């Protein structure tokens, strides 16, 4: 705002609420209206303009916004916030500032291969090159880095002699970076995605295991207590992935859609009054426990039918201990000895009952209705399994230790290293048949003889099965399936046409790896989850962590095969950093909504190389994919204007850091920190004669109306109605 520009005043609305009829006496907190001050007020307050075409040029108007109805004192009132009085002739313009970018645009670089031949990183034997990444932002300041700038420098090095692949060098560099600790032992990957770029990444991931994400949105306070309530209903791990001040988004990975999250009302003690509507009374009485030899059956109904004075539906089976069941029930009075004797005589089963008096229970009211919230399928991503082996000395009896090892790692499947095999002997003279391997059909087609048919099957399906870790061979019409897995391949044959069929042989005993009184064991460990990028070349690195050592013996990961021709690079993509406290915490923590700024360079040696090999002969190619752009109109960045308006209209400061004060005086913010808002601006210029002297005063205000994106239309309609009546251009934030 310049010295001569109109003063900016902000109406921060609640959900863009507009009142377009009636009076101002019931104007809600955060609800705006334009009133006609030239009309006499009614019992409902000042008259709200509902049709601007009926407003004359001389009618005086005001903008009003409701506020909390707090007590009235010498320094406080509950009057609506009001603008200057103005007429249609005073309306100068209406403007709109609407965000067009969602979220935060981040710095995104590639060093090395970027899809263009010749841009790849190349090293020669003995080369040691440096890559330097600079990270700058508020998050770095809070971690303790001077001037908010952190420098991460790392080397990529080729062996002095012998063959090597750039894929292995780059992927191992990425692994080191993903494990890199910044100050405070915070991982670098909290702030930057580090992705190897590989020209030979396949379109589909071999042996990928689909990991389906599901999301649940709940209105809660975003605390660990709220997370605990959700986690308690599921066996899978649940994490909170976002919180905007009012709503939490919870995420889990599951093989199928999880059951809906269910919320119910707690029971309430009945007292003297009747139960509230919707509640049923659970009667007061005396609770008794009995144990009965029920052989595992639930005989609650039989027990309840033979207990005198029992409260209906109060009998519950609580526990089974071998052949004895434990039940509780409620009666109107404690059971007498004669009533117990009669009960024991009913049957042999009830005759085994033993009674324990528990005590009185008071009546409660129960509402069994539940509110269910469904999970929604999110992104489908992928993981892989990596193989680890361990070799252990056999036990003192010379036996393997598979059972002992499995008990030590209950979350993993451990099996003996070696091979397992089984056969399918083909029969018939024509047609087709499906050979079913581990649940998947593979079609066999008869061709002149069973020997040729078996050979054709290997030709057609051998590569596919090999990718699954299964080797198939053919010999005189017999197919042999061999796998190095935790169990025999599951085989069956189903005729499709003609008479081609087959019989499954007897599984061959496992051929295990055992030497020098030692046995080798194998397990598979699930990797991290990787989601699709815009191109297969930008696929993040799958990685796993070895199981903890067993008896001080480490697990060894199966060696990976690297390509000698892959063109390699590394992508560095900043991650948005958002720190946003809800109302009760916003004065205790800063609001941050940004992404760290990145600067990247590489391809210079860290020491003199006497072999005079210069690798890529200069700096590595750096490709810019996108640059940082700050978020537009986030609520957390607009709260200052909300406080300024409170001071302008009420001449009162907010109770900063005083949650009780904010609650009592209705000073909670109407702005959600990470939501985006539309800013409408109405500029008014009043030109009036002064009193006493023949002079004019020129008084201007620009009134801003802040409304959440998606809840802004009512504000726009109100201001456009005013603009049309005043003869100034209308505005439109988004397509309609």
End-of-domain residue from the set 368, 387, 402:
368
Q: Is 729 helix (H, G, I), strand (E, B) or coil?
A: coil
The CATH number of residue 331's host domain is 3.30.70
Beta bridge partners of 128: 157
Domain contains 549: no
Q: How far apart are the first and last CA of the chain?
A: 32
CB 125 within 8 A of CB 162: yes
Is 715 buried (19+), middle (13-18) or exposed (0-12) by CB count in 10 A?
A: buried
End-of-domain residue from the set 217, 240, 264:
264
Rg, the chain, Cα only: 38
Domain contains 136: yes
Domain contains 240: yes
Residues 6+ apart with CB under 8 A from 41: 23, 47
Q: Do residues 255 and 278 share a domain?
A: no
Q: Do residues 272 and 364 share a domain?
A: yes
Structure confidence at residue 485 (pLDDT): 62
User: Strands 622-626, 677-689: parallel, antiparallel or unpaired by DSSP?
Assistant: unpaired
Task: Flag residues of the chain having pLDDT under 70.
Answer: 1-4, 485-488, 509-514, 605-618, 689-695
Residues 6+ apart with CB under 8 A from 176: 154
Residues 6+ apart with CB under 8 A from 229: none
**pLDDT tens per residue across span 481-538:** 888 766 667 889 999 999 999 999 887 766 666 677 888 888 889 888 888 777 777 7
Q: Do residues 609 and 639 share a domain?
A: no
Q: Do residues 190 and 220 share a domain?
A: no
Domain contains 373: no
Structure confidence at residue 178 (pLDDT): 92
Q: Do residues 225 and 286 share a domain?
A: no
Domain contains 375: no
Q: Do residues 281 and 345 share a domain?
A: yes
Q: Do residues 300 and 220 share a domain?
A: no
pTM of the model: 0.74
Q: Do residues 53 and 129 share a domain?
A: no
Domain carrying residue 425: 418-512
Query: What count of residues does the chain have?
Result: 736
Q: Do residues 326 and 278 share a domain?
A: yes
**pLDDT tens per residue across span 564-589:** 999 999 999 999 998 888 888 888 88
End-of-domain residue from the set 470, 495, 512:
512
Domain contains 545: no
Structure confidence at residue 202 (pLDDT): 83
**Number of separate domains in the chain:** 5
Structure confidence at residue 259 (pLDDT): 95
Q: Do residues 272 and 362 share a domain?
A: yes
Structure confidence at residue 692 (pLDDT): 63
Structure confidence at residue 444 (pLDDT): 94
The CATH number of residue 427's host domain is 2.60.40
CA-closest candidate to residue 479, choices 461, 497, 467: 461
Q: Do residues 39 and 77 share a domain?
A: yes
Domain contains 452: yes
Rounded Cα distance between 108 and 112, Å, is: 13
Q: Do residues 353 and 423 share a domain?
A: no
Rounded Cα distance between 473 and 575, Å, is: 50
CB 286 within 8 A of CB 321: no
Domain contains 411: no
Structure confidence at residue 513 (pLDDT): 62
CB 252 within 8 A of CB 234: yes
């Amino acid at each position: 705002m310049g010295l001569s520009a109109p003063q900016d005043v902000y109406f921060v609305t609640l959900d863009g609420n507009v009142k377009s009829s009636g009076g101002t006496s019931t104007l809600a907190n955060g609800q705006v209206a334009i009133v006609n001050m030239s009309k006499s007020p009614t019992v409902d307050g000042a008259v709200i303009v509902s049709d601007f075409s009926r407003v004359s040029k001389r009618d005086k108007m005001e903008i009003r916004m409701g506020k909390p109805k707090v007590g009235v004192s010498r320094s406080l009132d509950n009057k609506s916030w009001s603008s200057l009085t103005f007429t249609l002739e005073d309306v100068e313009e209406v403007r709109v500032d609407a965000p067009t970018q969602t979220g935060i645009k981040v710095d995104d670089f590639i060093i090395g291969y970027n899809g263009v031949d010749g841009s790849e990183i190349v090293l020669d034997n003995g080369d040691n090159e440096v890559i330097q990444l600079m990270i700058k932002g508020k998050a770095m300041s809070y971690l303790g880095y001077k001037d908010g700038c952190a420098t991460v420098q790392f080397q990529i090095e080729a062996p002095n002699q012998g063959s090597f692949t750039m894929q292995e060098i780059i992927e191992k560099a990425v692994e080191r970076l993903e494990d890199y600790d910044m100050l405070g032992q915070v991982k670098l990957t909290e702030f930057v995605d580090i992705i190897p770029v590989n020209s030979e990444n396949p379109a589909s991931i071999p042996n990928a295991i689909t990991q389906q994400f599901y999301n649940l949105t709940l209105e809660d306070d975003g605390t660990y207590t709220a997370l605990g309530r959700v986690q308690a209903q599921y066996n899978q791990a649940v994490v909170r992935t976002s919180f905007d001040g009012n709503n939490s988004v919870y995420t889990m990975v599951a093989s199928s859609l999880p059951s809906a999250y269910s919320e119910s009302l707690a029971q309430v003690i009945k007292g003297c009054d009747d139960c509230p509507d919707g509640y049923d009374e659970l009667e007061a009485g005396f609770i008794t426990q009995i144990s009965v030899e029920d052989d595992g059956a639930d005989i609650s109904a039989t027990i309840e039918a033979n207990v005198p004075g029992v409260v209906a539906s109060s009998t519950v089976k609580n526990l089974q201990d071998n052949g004895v069941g434990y039940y509780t029930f409620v009666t109107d009075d404690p059971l007498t000895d004669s009533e117990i004797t009669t009960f024991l005589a009913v049957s042999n089963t009830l005759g085994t009952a033993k009674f324990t008096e528990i005590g009185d229970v008071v009546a409660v009211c129960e509402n069994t209705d539940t509110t269910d919230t469904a999970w929604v399928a999110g992104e489908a991503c992928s993981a892989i399994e990596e193989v680890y082996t361990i070799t252990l000395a056999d036990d003192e009896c010379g036996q393997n230790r598979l059972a002992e090892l499995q008990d030590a790692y209950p979350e993993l499947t451990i099996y003996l290293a070696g091979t397992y095999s089984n056969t399918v002997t083909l029969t018939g003279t024509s047609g087709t048949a499906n050979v079913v391997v581990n649940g998947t059909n593979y079609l066999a087609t008869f061709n002149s003889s069973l020997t040729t048919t078996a050979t054709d099957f290997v030709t057609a399906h051998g590569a596919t099965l090999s990718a699954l870790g299964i080797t198939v061979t053919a010999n005189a019409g017999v197919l042999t399936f061999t796998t190095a897995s935790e169990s025999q391949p599951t085989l069956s044959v189903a005729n499709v046409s003609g008479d081609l069929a087959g019989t499954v042989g007897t599984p061959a005993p496992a051929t295990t790896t055992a030497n020098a009184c030692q046995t080798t064991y194998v397990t598979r460990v699930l990797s991290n989850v990787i989601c699709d990028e815009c191109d297969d070349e930008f696929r993040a690195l799958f990685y796993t962590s070895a199981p903890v050592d067993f008896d001080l013996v480490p697990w060894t990961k199966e060696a990976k095969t690297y390509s000698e021709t892959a063109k390699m690079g590394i992508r560095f993509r900043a991650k948005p950093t958002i720190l946003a406290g809800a109302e009760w915490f916003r004065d205790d923590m800063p609001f941050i909504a940004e992404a760290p700024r990145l600067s990247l360079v590489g391809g210079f040696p860290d020491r003199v190389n006497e072999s005079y090999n210069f690798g890529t002969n200069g700096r590595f190619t750096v490709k810019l994919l996108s640059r940082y752009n700050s978020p537009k109109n986030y609520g957390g960045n607009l709260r200052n204007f909300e406080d300024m308006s409170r001071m302008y209209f009420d001449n009162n400061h907010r109770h900063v850091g005083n949650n009780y004060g904010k609650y009592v005086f209705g000073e909670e913010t109407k702005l959600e920190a990470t939501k985006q808002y539309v800013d409408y601006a109405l500029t008014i210029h009043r030109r009036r004669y002064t009193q006493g002297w023949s002079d004019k005063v020129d008084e201007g205000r620009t009134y801003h109306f802040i409304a959440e994106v998606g809840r802004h239309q009512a504000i726009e309609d109100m201001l456009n109605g005013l603009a049309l009546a005043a003869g100034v251009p209308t505005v439109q934030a988004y397509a309609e």
